[in-house]
Structure 1
């Protein structure tokens, strides 16, 4: 059973096509991240799910009810959705309690027990987001993180079928973003509400989502679990956009054997994942942590390289390794230290 379903959805603004035949399914209780660069269509898709825009083609379903197609559109207040915006969107003249209680008075599909006893429900939500005792404060008296917690509490207070979040953490500093990721994940576990989360931050998507939908130029480039997106990218765009990737050049002899050509030598690499989309390009995508460096000896077999650059990253070291005509990024444990100009033996572990 899906909390939300977009089938064949397209959206045009005049002569500009923002979405092209997009299909997205959000299961009950599922956390789906829409990930992509600016202008890829992810916010347009979110606005279509919310009811702020109508699709040019296709259908949108929420809780197994058709809420929009090109002929009709049900307004946001009739869709049982919660929204969290990048700008918090709190009413400055209302207290924290009044901001959070607002949907209980104005939303449709509010459970009767919440409507009859709003103060108890608001107190539950504020306690859940760590703001108990702040009911009488105004937004101007809150920090950025507290404002975002109020926005979260307001979005879920009426038990929505779907929670839509549009880059909610982008205006917070790095430490607050990490804390709010934990808060959002906690709320998701506690309430079990399906979430569609728009972001351009790959680490947010990888760390929080059950499923990631990578978008590019109004189309879906790839959809899958964070592990599938990271370790089995289906295009060079996904491999580059979600994490760092090296593209090894060579040739494929079969689905599990890649022949790497480096310094006039050919080295076979055994591949355990599906890389079919890269066969025609004669490439093998490899993550920096999938390359191991060893001390080079005269009897070392396989690929050799030279350390061109080293960056200390706290728990790890980031190397630039010259291998033939190519330069690869390699991440190693802090204990594996190699010097500038040092020759190393290279092992590919894919």
Structure 2
């Protein structure tokens, strides 16, 4: 188990991390998600031992590995690391990269040449690179190079695998393919994985738990489904799932959008969002009705075909809302006037039109 208590990291007058408390269970796949500059890489560097916290402590199991006065060096922590850049050596072929890790990692238990050779083959088969073991990095594609970097990191069987945006240099198709590879490797290894990314799709697809950060603080940490369906803050709502925040007023579990008589029933909206007088609606939760029907009156300003769905931008007063509808539904055109309604809420609005006063 990894435990961070009261972690802060300051660079002069700039605070990169504010009072971070976090526990990571053995074997957990934790994704740290957030925009550039939110502190996620700083947090990973602290876990790796590349720097000391300004305040707070870090424990690996029962052992304290970092505090403001001292920090265990990276080589004294049983970790593997995969960087954003592949960091491969041009003079070493694929199998030499993996063998180097086995020979030089302090916690590797493969001491004899036979044990090392067996482990090299095992790891290269695991990442699908056994057939390329004699190739040098210059002769490999980007996806193959990332597999080599991953093989090098996991070869010594570290307790903790730290990954810093490892797929960001790959194209879209390769990223999707590598997500599956990493998930399968985690299943087979059982190691703790801490995975830093700014890509919400990666975090939601792979992690057991997602930690969302903004401006050096933890906004929310929970299962991917909870993060997506039950955001606790406006930042999480808009960053994960790109929710539209409809302004209005709450009375109990009923929400009324501003300047309307609509009534929407709560579907697990967090108390903090209620206090900010907003109702989060993800793009796929909207339905578009004809302008004469009951809903938020708006006009379509943008329509984009996206294969399995169409994306719309709808101007409602001074607000722009985004909607995603299945391609099976009739298409709306730019300039069309529509009524925006939340799926499943039409009946509530129709039966309780005067339940709330607009403030």
- Range class of TM-score, shorter chain: over 0.9
> After alignment, is 229-238 or 35-44 more displaced?
229-238
Query: Which segments of structure 1 move beyond 6 Å, counting only runs of 4 or more?
Result: none
Residue-by-residue CA offset, 1:166-224 (whole Å, 9 max, x unaligned): 11111112221111111111111111111111111111111111111111111111111
Q: Say which of 168, 171, 174 aligns to 1:170.
A: 168
* Equivalent residue in structure 2 for 1:293, among 288, 295, 298: 288
Residue of structure 2 aligned with 1:269, choices 237, 240, 264: 264
Alignment of 1:1-350 (within 5 A): 2=1, 4-112=2-110, 117-254=115-252, 256-262=253-259, 265-295=260-290, 300-336=293-329, 337-349=331-343
* 2-structure distance, mates of 1:31, 1:166: 14
How far did 1:101 drift? 1.4
Q: TM-score, normalised by structure 2?
A: 0.90
**Deviation of the 1:88 alpha carbon:** 0.9
Q: Residues of 2 paired with 1:229 and 1:115: CA distance?
A: 47
> CA–CA distance in 2 between the matches of 1:305 and 1:148?
47
Q: Is the 8 A contact 2:207 2:224 kept in 1?
A: yes
Shift of 1:345: 3.8
Contact 1:257–1:269 (CA<8 Å) still a contact in 2?
Answer: yes
SS at match of 2:58: strand
Does the 8 A contact of 2:58 with 2:67 survive in 1? Answer: yes
Distance in 2 between residues matched to 1:78 and 1:114, nearest whole Å: 22
Alpha carbons 1:34, 1:42 under 8 Å: kept? yes
CA offsets 1:263-284 (integer angstroms, 9 cap, x no match): xx31110012032112232111
Residues 281, 135 of structure 1: alpha-carbon distance in 2 compared, 3 angstrom cutoff: same
Counterpart Cα distance in 1 of 2:301 and 2:27:
47
Tell me the SS of whatever aligns to 2:275: coil
Structure 1: gaps spanning 5 or more residues: none
Would the aligned equivalents of 1:275 and 1:284 in 2 still touch at CA under 8 Å? Answer: no
Describe the SS at the equivalent of 1:88: coil
Indicate the SS of the match to 2:134.
Answer: coil
Quote the Cα distance in structure 2 between the aligned partners of 1:153 and 1:112.
Answer: 15
Residues paired across the two proteins, number: 343
Deviations 1:78-102 (A, max 9, x none): 1110000111112222221111112
Shift of 1:316: 0.4
CA distance 1:257–1:148, shift in 2 (3 Å)? same
Q: Provide closer, same or farther for how the CA distance between residues 72 and 327 of structure 1 changes in structure 2, counting only shifts above 3 A.
A: closer
Distance in 1 of aligned mates of 2:113 and 2:8: 37
Mapped to 2, the partners of 1:205 and 1:245 lie a distance apart of 17
Contact 1:114 1:158 in 2 (8 A): no
Displacement, 1:289?
Answer: 0.8
* C-alpha RMSD of matched pairs (Å): 1.9
- With the length of structure 1 as denominator, give the TM-score of the two structures: 0.92
Shift of 1:258: 0.5
SS in 2 for 1:266: coil
